[in-house]
Structure 1
């Protein structure tokens, strides 16, 4: 059986390693546009900010490792077209420009995503950069050496992490987003208010509810960012307004969501029985709302890639769905979220209620203790937990993983009140703050 894998970041790497583990003799060929694999883009801000000194630590696999596993590893090769029914692909060698045809029995699509590049006047100027892969990170670091004023457009996780890194390097930093607050997909206003206040206290300009209208520059280099409300000087601009799935060559051949994300079932199988898909190129089942959605996260990608390999020759293990669980550190604030926010739930017409647990996370007789704020979102009628957010100066973010498990297992807010958690004064109180949220919600 001949297997072709298209793309090799997180999902592709996981699919290949597991396919070889299951069947060491499998005939696998992987095509990747870049000259590297498995780059952790979530580490770009750490690399830019100097926290990570050796960028090689941001890779957990390599083309050499795949070759050792007897994988036909084709770096700097672009799959230009695929005939799924005819089971053949046309591939271009980016070094030589030559094109050739490759056949397959099974196809694993892990083609990932690419940053959205909005059509804005002047966006093609020098020093307007993207933040996605290893080459981007190096370009950002090199350009930043001669930049004093940095504008980041897009206040999702990438944009938010970058502005802190740039500010720590002494840059004048502006964060722009068309939404009325930062991180709006992940956190409700009571949490994003804390993050925005922290940024402003550290000298970062937070320009929310502002839409970029055009970029102005001199000699092809950006100098100013013009929004519908203000003008900001800039030596460098980072665009981080979101991602779109890399699936153009599969359109008309596989079922997709409106944004081009390939639809997969719970076994990672597409609408064609011989084609699997995983990672940022496809949809994933979202447990809080019980629907398929586009949620590009590295955690989703590695799970989906692993399952694509396991289920390649037959349905064996189902994907349990995702909660879109994530975390971020904004200066002294350790924040994490899982599931749907209160605001997003109401936009979707879901009748929800919320409950807070605000407490010191461990006993006050201890030498130190910190306040923790936990917010839990649950359906009013069923009382099923569908989301949660947390913030503390102590790193308690792992607790949001516990809530993620609760959502995945359809637990109610009332059950949360009496879950068995250990007590030890170094770590918590007899009533863990997770229990406290449940207790506060009891009728």
Structure 2
């Protein structure tokens, strides 16, 4: 049953997030005569604005939701098709959309992003934060809430527990320290006092990471208290709107029903055992709740540390999985261990003429010793831009080398109102015991950690306004032997400056 192809485009990009839009912009600019199609489930696309190259590899930018018509006005060779993808037929080089249309392609780039790993799909009291609609739903529910439970230890969870006011927050993390994806226990300890301090007035925005993939994971708990007076939802069964932009919480008031206190309790090294209603709780004879609390909340969550908490709703912030679902059936894509589409050094998948970029793919080339993939906004932009270059180069029969952005991992974000810069193997990733750490910490001001291996700087974490990012980036890229060239205390002297 061969479907009729509406039109064949030279380039088709699937996904209106940062990776897809950046790929479209690159292709449309590089080959203005090529017919390009962007298939997106949402009427809004994610656009990079206020882009700034901070150093050789560090970059900052804002992400704004804009009507897809803005792109069509900018590029006369672009057609935006608003629909979810139903299926992909790599043998016939065609894509079928949810509304029944079929489009042919010469080259295709899949930029469908990730979808939330929800704790449960069935429970109406469990909310995942992914797109504009879910963020607005969070705001609506929070306005009547007195207590919520946040599960997860990635970027969304870190931002949420800091931003929520007027509501008690129980924060369940799988690790021994908060923010394990981004920094070590020392940095976490530096940041923890911010949970009990009053939030300062808003200042200049600094970008955060995109979602990171993490598993929900018996231990201790800490409590901190401080008293103080456009739509992006998809239409397909597996589609969701593009992921929220950096600083997604800026435009919404994350305030609960309580007017006085800001209270965050952290439950470490635990995962979710069970989620149940008040009726189920009463029937299960739970012994971990005080009698007067039984039946008082709409939903209850039991953790593996033996504790059970009642709350108004649960926020599932346990990361995302690559959104490959619409593309796998009938095709022979090679998948990585994390379920992403495997791509080579030219962003090509295992299927001919099919590329992928952003959260949906997994970089399976031999990585630089100083780079690793993390599903971040910066990497979505870099991959989309590079995929566009590769697609154009292949059509024009031009050689292309792996972009310099994949030479050194670098990222600027913001947590608990502190600027955070991550460079290289910032957590000693893959180094085993063959590394040493140098740390400088000024309480409430800055935290600086340097990772050394074989006398060379291979990573760094900078929290606060340290102004060291460019210096450390150069030291890492140059791989200068800090012990042999400048004496054993060279790196320490750099920290002490």
TM-score (norm 2): 0.69
| 1:100-115 → structure 2 map (5 Å cutoff) | 100-115=101-116
Aligned-residue offset at 1:300: 0.6
2:337 is paired with a residue whose SS is coil
Aligned-residue offset at 1:191: 0.8
Match of 2:87 in 1: 81
Would the aligned equivalents of 2:452 and 2:458 in 1 still touch at CA under 8 Å? Answer: yes
Aligned-residue offset at 1:127: 3.2
Q: Which of 399, 408, 423 does residue 338 from structure 1 map onto?
A: 423
Structure 2, gaps ≥5 residues long: 1-8, 49-61, 196-223, 227-262, 281-296, 394-398
Match of 1:283 in 2: 362
Match of 2:400 in 1: 316
Match of 2:266 in 1: 206
CA deviation vs aligned residue, 1:62-93 (integer Å, no higher than 9, x gap): 30112212422122x12122122321112112
Alpha carbons of 1:372 and 1:147: their partners in 2 closer, same or farther (altered >3 Å)? closer
1:283 is paired with a residue whose SS is strand
Aligned counterparts of 1:307 and 1:372: Cα–Cα separation in 2: 34
Structure 1, gaps ≥5 residues long: 41-56, 94-98, 361-369, 419-433
Q: Over aligned residues, Cα RMSD in angstroms?
A: 3.2
The size of the alignment, in residue pairs, is 380
Would the aligned equivalents of 1:224 and 1:231 in 2 still touch at CA under 8 Å? Answer: yes
Aligned counterparts of 1:402 and 1:91: Cα–Cα separation in 2: 49
Would the aligned equivalents of 1:288 and 1:387 in 2 still touch at CA under 8 Å? Answer: no
1:35 aligns with 2:46: no
Aligned-residue offset at 1:58: 5.3
Aligned-residue offset at 1:115: 1.3
Aligned-residue offset at 1:412: 3.4
Aligned-residue offset at 1:13: 0.7
Aligned counterparts of 1:151 and 1:7: Cα–Cα separation in 2: 32
CA deviation vs aligned residue, 1:2-31 (integer Å, no higher than 9, x gap): 211111100001011121112223211211
| 1:170-319 → structure 2 map (5 Å cutoff) | 170-199=166-195, 200=224, 202=226, 203-217=263-277, 222-228=298-304, 229-251=306-328, 253-284=332-363, 289=369, 294-314=373-393, 315-319=399-403
Match of 2:70 in 1: 65
2:44 is paired with a residue whose SS is coil
CA deviation vs aligned residue, 1:85-136 (integer Å, no higher than 9, x gap): 321112112xxxxx23221101011111111124x5xx52223111111111
Aligned counterparts of 2:352 and 2:456: Cα–Cα separation in 1: 35
Aligned counterparts of 1:324 and 1:263: Cα–Cα separation in 2: 22
Match of 2:457 in 1: 385
Aligned counterparts of 2:179 and 2:424: Cα–Cα separation in 1: 14
1:37 is paired with a residue whose SS is strand
Would the aligned equivalents of 1:108 and 1:275 in 2 still touch at CA under 8 Å? Answer: yes
